[in-house]
Amino acid sequence: MKRCLITAGPTREHFDPVRYLSNGSSGKMGYALAAEALRLGWEVDLVTGPVSLRPPSGAIVHRVTSALEMREACLQVFPHCQLLIMAAAVADYRPAERLDTKSAKSDGPLQLQLIPNPDILAQLATGRLPGQILVGFAAETDQVEAKARAKLTRKGLDWIVANDVSSPELGMEADRNAITMLSRTGKALSFGPADKADVAAFILGTLDRSPRVPAHHPAGAP
């Protein structure tokens, strides 16, 4: 059976036991992709950040909280998969220090030092095996296609799914989405607005119909 790894939802980057930095990702797009992949007969590993959704029946669920935890889960599963779809909205930064106890409120401003989180998708791309297909997501609010195309090239992906999240009716917390799939061979395929289940079917259908072109490995990759 073919096996795929799909990531979904946000990450939470705690600076004390009860407070954290995060984003508005609902996980709906990633969960819709997992459900569609299962319907098509894939074995699905779903690495999910904290969301309120019920995972689709049959998925192998790996629950994580932080970006570092998501990276570790992906590194464990990815070598056994033929397809990766990185739909999670991973926090770019995390607090440099996490307190063991809740920090006390003060009258003055709170200052946090932030450090970069590892780029999970770029790290997986450098260790990809022959035949593995890598798909990223680019949620942007301006210059959507240009920024997505740059990310596609920079990370050595096969496809990237670009979507404009500036509209409240589409994107992270909404039930509908509108996307453009960009390939490293130059294709640009648009779909939507549509329910995320239909968007998931379009994405996986496009991947299934695409010829397997040998991947270009970034400099320094095996």
Domain boundaries, the chain: 3-93+114-209
Predicted local distance difference test score (pLDDT) of residue 23: 94
SS3 145: helix
pLDDT in tens, 47-100: 999 999 999 999 999 999 999 999 999 999 999 999 999 999 999 999 999 999
The strand pairing partners of 60, in sequence order, are 45
**Alpha-carbon span 90 to 88, nearest angstrom:** 6
What's the predicted TM-score (pTM) here?
Answer: 0.92
**Alpha-carbon span 182 to 198, nearest angstrom:** 18
Torsion, CA 172, CA 179, CA 175, CA 35, rounded to 10: -100
With cut-offs at 50, 70 and 90, classify the pLDDT of residue 217.
very low
Residues serving a catalytic function are: 23
Torsion, CA 150, CA 155, CA 156, CA 158, rounded to 10: -80
Predicted local distance difference test score (pLDDT) of residue 213: 47
| CATH pick for 3-93+114-209 out of 3.90.1150.10, 3.30.565.10, 3.40.50.10300, 3.30.1330.10 | 3.40.50.10300
pLDDT in tens, 24-53: 999 999 999 999 999 999 999 999 999 999
Cα separations (Å) of 61 from 1, 58, 77?
17, 9, 11
